[in-house]
Every structure is written in C-alpha cells, then in structure tokens.
C-alpha cells in the first residue's frame, strides 16, 4: 500500500507543498542555509501536524520562524520541557504555535510541530542553520542538503519506537526545489560540482573568489542535493575573526569576537613513506534490512581491495551485523594466504539476512576483545547509518577511544551524518560518505592509508596574542591528525581585540610528533574582525561547545548536580543555537479570536501497526526509501562481466605476488598463447612484474585504489631481489616483447 508523507488532509491526501526555496551561502569552510517551506491547508478544519526531517549532524539551527497569512512569528529558544508545555498551553487555548526540537536519540533528526493551522490558510516556515563543510578525498568541500530520511532502527529493549517511513515515487512529487548558492573564499574557486544538474557557475569578480550557482530548472527533490566546492591552494591555512554581537554583553561568547582557525598539517614525504607494517584491522559491515540496494557488489569489491592491501604481519577480522551479529573468526587472526582466502570466501557468501540495524552489540563485543600487543587496533565501520540510538553508539566509541581508531563510512542516501561523523571524531579516525554514483573504493583506500600512517602524538595548540587579549578555546583538544586533512579550532577572544593598530595580529602554533620527528605548523593572522561576517563563526563555536558539554553530561549522568545541563541551556538560549536540552517555540499571541473547531491531528500509517510516523524533509516533504539490506541483495541478479582491475586484484597472493596462470592472462586481456610467447625463459617473478606493468599502463586513473597493493607487490619483489638478479629480470629493463605485449613503450 502506498503511504504518503507529511501533512495530510481529512481524506488523507497531502496538504499541498506549494514551493520549496533554499538559499546557501558558503564562506570558505562554513555554510549558512536558509530553507523556506510554503504549505496550504485546503481543508475546512484546523490541523495539527508533526514533521520529522534530517539535518547535517554538525549543523547549528539558529533561526526558526513561521508566517501564517500576514502574521509572522519568530521562535525563541527555551528549555525543552518548558517549550513543550508552552506549546500545549497555546493549542489548548486556540492559539497558533510551532515547536522545533532535536531528537533525543540523534542530533541530526528534528521534529517540527505545527499547531492549529486554520482552514484555507497558508503557512510559510523558515529554518536557518549553519554547518561546517567536510573535506573529501580529492580536497573538495562537501555540502549536503538532506532530502532522504531513512528508517531509523531502534534496538530491542530500548526506549521509544523506531521511525518507519515509506516512499513517494518521483512521479508523485508535486513540487520542484528552488536552490541557489553563493560561494566566497580568500582563494579562487576552481569549480563546483553536484550530483544534480546545475546551471553554469557565475563568477562575480575577476579574481574568481566569489561565485553563484543554481540548480537547473525542474529538479525534483527526490534525493540529497550534494555540492562539491573546489578552491585553488585548498591546503592553505586560514583564520577568520568575527566581531561579536553589538547587543550582547562584552565578556560573553556572543559579545566577544570569535576566531575560526583552519589548519592543514603537511607531513614530510620521508615520514609518509614509512607506512606501518602492523596493526589489528577489524571490519564491521552492515547486513541489516535497511540499506541501499545499489551498492552490494561495491562493498564486496571494497572488502576485496582492503584484504589484498593489508600488510603481511598484521591481524584482522570481519564482523557483520543486523538484528544479530556474526564474525568470520572467533578472534582476530594473523594475515596470511590461508586466512585471507577463508575471509574472501565468507565475504562472497554474505547476504541481506540479518534483520535490523543493531550496531551497539557488535561494537561492545569488539571492544571486549583484548588488544594484541604491538598491533594497534583500527576499526572500519560500513553502514547506512540508520539507527535510533546514535548518541549511545558515539558514547561507546568515545569510551574506548584510547584503544583504537575508528574509520566510518556512510553508504547511500540518508545515512546519518551524526552517526558517521560522530564515530570517526570520537574514535580518532576519519569519516567518508558514499552516495549516488560515487565509487566507494578510492574513499575507503584513502582511509586505509590514514590507518597505516604512523600515529601522531604529543599534539598541542598554543596562542601568541597581544597582552590585552586573552583566549578561551571552545573546541575540544585535537587528538588526531592526518596528512592533508583539515583541523578546525574555534576560540573566544576577550579584551581589546582589533581596537589598536591595524597591524595587530595573533599567532597560533600546532605542535606534534610523528614517527619520532617533532614538527610544528604556525599561522599568523590579523585580529581585525572581518567585515559583514555575520554570526556564523559564533554559532558554530557555540555549537561545538554545546556538543562537548552534552557528551560530558551523558558520560557523568547521575554523578553531577545538573550543572552541565544548566550551562548548556544557558549557552543555547544566549547564542540562539539548538541543543538536546532546548527547543524553538513560537506562539502567535496576536491572532485575536481562538481558532474554532476540533483540532485534527494527522498521523501517517506505516507498514508496522505499532509505529506512527509524521515525516517531511529538512527543506520539504521528500521521497523516503525503505531500503533492502545495506550492501547485500537478498536475491543475486545475473552479474555483468567483472571489472578487469578487480579481476587482477583478486588473483594477488597475500604476500603481494601474482602467479603465472591462465586466470592472470584473462585478467590482463591476453590469451594463453600470447602470454606463453612473450614470457622469458625464467619466470619466477615475471607474473608480478607483468601485473605491475599492466596497472601502471592501463589503470593510472584508479591508482588510489590499487596503490597500496602495488606497494606490497614491489616490497615482495625487493625481498626477492637476489632471485630476480639471478634470473636476469629487472623491472626497469624488461624484455621488449613483454612490454610489447601491452603496447606501452
């Protein structure tokens, strides 16, 4: 049965969403998003509706207002329970009211209660939030406008019911999305890409530091809208000082200037070339019934690449989970040809047969296993991120952060950014998102390179400021650094900031040690606040501090007197930024007579009778997909011919070498006769050299995917250098007929 989502009429027809308007303003690494939803109640009774929608997990909601007819109501931030009581009181007295609050289980899910929408009346809802832009593997900055809220699985025995959603086919989506973006940066903007059709990029000045872009006309908001923004000299460190709010008290967070520092540590090539040859690699794979059907083979291929790229001497294990969990080995085992083959056999047999998405129990089991001496634990988590206990999962990862690093991957539309980013942040790892037509393999292999990177230790940040200026750091301490990856620091500046000479400047120094080599990065910056910068940096700084305090409160619940919660509420109200303990409440106290007639509450039936759902997108009602299992189809369709690269990779031995056999000939597209004709008299190492030549000659565009296993192959050849010389085989002086085999002189 087809179930619609959003505000329903008395006949259970959706209240028309007349238009959706989204304006995006990007300033360097951060973005401000303004979404406007326009609805109309064509029924003859007043309505109450609840909308559930996704936002980026690190977003700071900072404005919410509603316009009913000619009356505009601006919401205030209040303590959550007080806001709920005020909302209920308003409805009971016939007043219009709106309540916007964050989900108790996940910070990237919000619900909007719309009370007493009068008959034949229009409603315009305006939501504003600010967010950081994540750095991608290719140095692009990713902005995602969530359109899909996938079902969030609630583990058995936990409080609350899981959210169930259904889908609205594209053909039934009765509206288009109006989306425009303005981008500005100290550095030139090289390009802007999207998973959706865009109008051409329009530069606003000659140095190309400002530009606008729009979605092409006719776009249906049936999937997440993703923008990738590329700057020239992307790794250049920057600092932005933002003036305080004139109406706020000096000495307070909103009254003082706030600085946002973006650092990109660059490690020396000699250090980066010393990849770790040890470690315990644990792969946790989602086999629930709620994942994208488009990526089953992609995840299996990715696990193949990962297993082939692991260094000899390490340990590994693979867990998979749904309503229950399984593991290939009872405990992590040493990496060898035998254990690798056994694991790959199990991977091929994986299906979508483990039910819901209960990630907490397998994580507890993994963390309960004793660590292996001199083998640092690296955890790779692949999931669609559809869980209802996000905060509980993140807290568990943080509790065990001293014993491992966590690398997380969100797969498919609607993956919870709060879960994926939160696990990586608290686990000292790196987060990646794979959506639409993205190739999973290069992103995963980048994370494996990060995992093999020597651990950065002794990290410290120091400030050198004029004597009349003091600094209060709002961000938690930096605990991990990766090559070329950004670290953001927010800090409050108190005192005579920018009031003296224009030349007044500050300096921030990042010190760390990598592979026994102490290093430091310095950034000098002007203390003069940027012109017309708004309050974006203040709000993001407040959000960062609020999230840290919320986690402290959860960790110490029952051991404190409530002081942390009170501090969060005070900071949330002062900054106008949402938190788990506050909500936005708007009541129209000027609408004269009370709205007459029974208030009709609209519920949306779902496939399970025990659940009730009210759903809309962050910027509109949108398509919701009940996915089959995260990465493995229940029924395996006929497979197309395998990618030659993956075919070649599958033939590599755990040691790094290849064997000369018909399968290798088929992988490189040659017949047995051609291979036989071109091989030298002594063939001990020839197959491995042949595979490397083919990779370099034909698959340079996918080098990110095979680079680590090629390094392993080269190490194997180096270890057999004596044998190679005795056979007269040299990589740089191969027989010409071998090179002619691939026509790559």
Domain-by-domain residue ranges, the chain?
17-153+163-234+576-608, 238-271+456-574, 275-452, 656-741
What pLDDT is attached to residue 613?
27
User: Does residue 272 come out as left (phi exceeding 0), alpha (psi in the -120 to 50 range) or beta?
Assistant: alpha
Q: Regarding predicted confidence, which is higher, 516 or 32?
A: 32
Query: Binning pLDDT at 50, 70 and 90, where does residue 272 land?
Result: low
Q: What is the average pLDDT across 76-92? A: 93
What pLDDT is attached to residue 730?
46
Pick from 453, 443, 405, 411: which is nearest to 281 by CA?
A: 405
* CA pseudo-torsion sign 227, 547, 147, 617: negative
Buried b / exposed e along 213-226 (16+ C-beta atoms within 10 A):
bebeeebbbbbbbb
- Least-confidence region, from 503-512, 565-574, 601-610: 601-610
Q: Give the homologous superfamily in CATH for domain 275-452.
A: von Willebrand factor, type A domain (3.40.50.410)
What pLDDT is attached to residue 16?
52
Q: What is the average pLDDT across 702-716? A: 90
Q: What is the average pLDDT across 62-88? A: 90
Contact 554, 40 (CB under 8 A): no
pLDDT above 90: residue 154: no
Pick from 433, 570, 540, 413: which is nearest to 129 by CA?
A: 540
pLDDT above 80: residue 742: no
Q: And the tokens for 443? A: 């992103």
What architecture does CATH give domain 17-153+163-234+576-608?
A: Sandwich (2.60)
Contact 283, 250 (CB under 8 A): no
Q: What is the average pLDDT across 593-614? A: 35
How far apart CA 30 and CA 186 sit, in angstroms, is 13
pLDDT above 50: residue 637: no
Q: Regarding predicted confidence, which is higher, 35 or 154?
A: 35
What pLDDT is attached to residue 415?
79
Taking residue 658's Cβ as centre, other Cβ atoms within 10 Å add up to 25
Query: Binning pLDDT at 50, 70 and 90, where does residue 298 land?
Result: confident
Query: Binning pLDDT at 50, 70 and 90, where does residue 9 land?
Result: very low
Contact 287, 307 (CB under 8 A): no
Domains 17-153+163-234+576-608 and 275-452 share a fold: no
pLDDT above 50: residue 605: no
Q: What is the average pLDDT across 391-415? A: 88
Q: And the tokens for 124? A: 């315009």
Q: Regarding predicted confidence, which is higher, 167 or 607?
A: 167
Query: Binning pLDDT at 50, 70 and 90, where does residue 6 land?
Result: very low
pTM above 0.85, yes or no: no
């Amino acid at each position: 049965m087809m179930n619609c989502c959003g505000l329903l009429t008395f006949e259970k027809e959706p209240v028309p969403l007349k238009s959706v308007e989204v304006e995006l303003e990007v300033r360097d690494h951060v973005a401000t998003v303004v979404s406007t939803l326009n609805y109309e109640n064509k029924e003859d009774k007043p309505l109450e509706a609840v909308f559930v929608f996704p936002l980026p997990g690190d977003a700071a909601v900072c404005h919410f207002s509603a316009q009913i007819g000619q009356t505009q109501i601006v919401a205030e931030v209040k303590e959550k329970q007080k806001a709920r009581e005020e909302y209920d009181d308003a409805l009971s007295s016939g007043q219009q009211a709106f309540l916007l609050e964050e989900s108790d289980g996940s910070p990237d899910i919000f619900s909007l209660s719309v009370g007493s929408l009068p008959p034949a009346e229009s409603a315009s809802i305006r939501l504003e939030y600010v967010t950081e832009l994540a750095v991608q593997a290719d140095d692009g900055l990713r902005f995602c406008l969530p359109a899909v809220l996938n079902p969030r699985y609630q583990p058995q025995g936990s409080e609350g019911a899981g959210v169930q959603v259904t889908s609205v086919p594209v053909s039934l989506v009765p509206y288009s999305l109006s989306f425009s973006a303005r981008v500005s940066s100290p550095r030139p903007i090289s390009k802007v890409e999207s998973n959706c059709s865009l109008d051409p990029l329009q530069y606003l000045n000659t140095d190309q530091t400002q530009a606008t872009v729009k979605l092409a006309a006719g776009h249906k908001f049936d999937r997440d809208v993703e923008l990738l923004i590329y700057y020239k000299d992307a790794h250049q460190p920057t600092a932005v000082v933002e003036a305080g709010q004139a109406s706020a008290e000096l000495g307070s967070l909103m009254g003082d200037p706030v600085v946002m520092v973006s650092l990109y540590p660059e490690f020396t090539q000699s250090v980066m070339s010393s990849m770790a040859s040890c470690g315990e690699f644990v792969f946790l794979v989602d086999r629930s019934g709620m994942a994208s059907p488009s990526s089953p083979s992609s995840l299996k291929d990715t696990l193949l690449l990962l297993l082939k790229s692991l260094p000899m001497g390490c340990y590994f294990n693979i867990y998979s989970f749904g309503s229950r969990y399984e593991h290939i080995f009872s405990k992590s085992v040493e990496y060898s040809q035998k254990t690798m083959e056994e694991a790959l056999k199990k991977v091929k047999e994986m299906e979508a047969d483990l039910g819901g998405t209960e990630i907490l129990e397998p994580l507890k089991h993994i963390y309960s296993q004793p660590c292996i001496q001199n083998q640092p634990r690296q955890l790779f988590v692949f999931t669609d991120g559809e869980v209802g206990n996000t905060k509980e999962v993140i807290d568990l990862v943080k509790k065990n952060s001293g014993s491992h690093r966590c690398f997380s991957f969100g797969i498919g539309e609607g993956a919870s950014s709060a879960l994926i980013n939160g696990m990586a942040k608290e686990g000292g790892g790196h987060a990646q998102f794979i959506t639409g037509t993205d190739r999973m393999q290069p992103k995963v292999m980048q994370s494996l390179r990060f995992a093999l990177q020597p651990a950065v230790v002794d990290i410290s940040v120091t400030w050198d400021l004029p004597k009349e200026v003091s600094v209060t750091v709002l961000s938690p301490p930096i605990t991990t650094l990766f090559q070329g990856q950004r670290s953001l620091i927010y800090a409050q500046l108190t005192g005579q900031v920018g009031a003296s000479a224009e030349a007044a400047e500050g300096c921030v120094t990042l010190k760390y040690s990598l592979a026994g080599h102490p290093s430091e990065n310095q950034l000098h910056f002007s203390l003069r606040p940027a012109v017309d910068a708004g309050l974006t940096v203040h709000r993001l700084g407040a959000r960062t501090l609020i999230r840290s305090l919320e986690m402290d409160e959860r960790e110490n619940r029952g051991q404190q007197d409530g002081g942390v919660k009170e501090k969060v509420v005070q900071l949330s109200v002062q900054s106008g930024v949402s938190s788990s303990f506050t909500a936005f409440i708007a009541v129209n106290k000027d609408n004269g007579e009370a709205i007459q007639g029974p208030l009709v509450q609209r519920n949306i039936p779902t496939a399970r009778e025990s659940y009730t759902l009210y759903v809309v997108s962050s910027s509109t009602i949108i398509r919701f997909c009940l996915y089959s299992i995260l990465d493995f189809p229940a029924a395996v369709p006929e497979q197309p011919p395998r990618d030659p690269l993956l075919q070649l990779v599958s033939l590599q031995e755990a040691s790094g070498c290849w064997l000369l056999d018909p399968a290798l000939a088929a992988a490189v597209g040659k017949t047995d006769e051609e291979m036989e004709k071109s091989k030298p008299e002594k063939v001990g190492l020839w197959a491995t050299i042949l595979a490397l030549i083919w990779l370099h000659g034909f698959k340079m565009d996918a080098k990110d995917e095979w680079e680590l296993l090629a390094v392993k192959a080269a190490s194997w050849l180096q270890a057999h250098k004596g044998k190679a010389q005795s056979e007269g085989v040299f990589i740089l002086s191969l027989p010409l007929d071998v090179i002619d085999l691939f026509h790559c002189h």
